[in-house]
Structure 1
Amino acid sequence: MEKFLYSDDKKEMYALLKKQLKALLEGEHHVLPNLSNVSALLNGALRNINWVGFYLRYGEDLLLGPFQGKPACVHIARGKGVCGTAFAKDATQLVKDVHQFPGHIACDCASRSELVVPLHQGGKVIGVLDIDSPLLGRFDETDTRELEEIARILEKSCDWAEWRFA
């Protein structure tokens, strides 16, 4: 999917993205292919990002899942960095400047802002959607709201029982 297919208007872009997401996930419930396809879909739609992907709970930490971008940190401890904080606090983290975030983990030194949305199953955090940008202040409240909605669609579409959360 080419980025030029998506409108510059965020409302229009996210409406199309959610429609495509639902079609992509329809009838497929396997976690890894769904996360792989969603990361590719988001990478093609979102402008000015340099990494998008998932970290999944494995024991008490997060383990790297499907993503688009440069190689990334494999393990993230609960409460460490933006992803670990979102995981520990069960709260979306909208970070306008990662260099101002205490304990930020710099997998890609080009990243300047980040948005991390927790994923849930059975009332528990099972992972996070992580998106990085090389631009300061790239993400706003609209991105937060829309990407939280995308996370809810994904949560309902996957059979999380197949993933080993050991």
Structure 2
Amino acid sequence: MSALMLQSPDTAAVGLFARNEIGICYVLAWWAYHYFPGGWVARAADLPPFRAACKVARSILRANTVVHRVNAAVKLHPGVVAAPLVLGTLGGCGGRLLVDAFSHCAGYKQGPNELSHPGYVLRSAATGALLQYLLVHVSGVLTSQQGLGLVISLYVAHSLATDLTYLRLSLQCT
């Protein structure tokens, strides 16, 4: 959604439309998980080391998306504060806001959604976007790569901490 809002495929491409291999990898991973003979891929996914590795990879991808959306918004909309913060946050939510909205409208989801009651997804995406924007583009304390490293480190640390402690570690104030 954030890539579509930026309206610049050269700067922020929609992942599935960027390369043919991405769609093929998604389909193969889905097939292997659900239909591989013997179900060993699904069983392997339940092993703690494999699950932790997948969560770390997802954290790295999320951090990259947040940081690149912030950088693209600053480049395309210079001087506008809302653009990098909103687009970086939307990029880091990974479609969660849209899925919640569609699920609620279809009657599948009865409780509060991510937008009205922000959880880890929205809070961490907003925190990453804010850190990248303030430390790289406003104050210039970090380079873009250093900002990316900081956001990756925070997301991976949270991912590993929740996996190792089995606690729900959120950025919630209450």
**Normalising by structure 2, what TM-score?**
0.25
Bigger helix fraction = 2
Between Structure 1 and Structure 2, which shows a larger proportion of strand residues?
1
Greater CA radius of gyration, 1 or 2?
2
TM-score for both structures, normalised by structure 1: 0.26
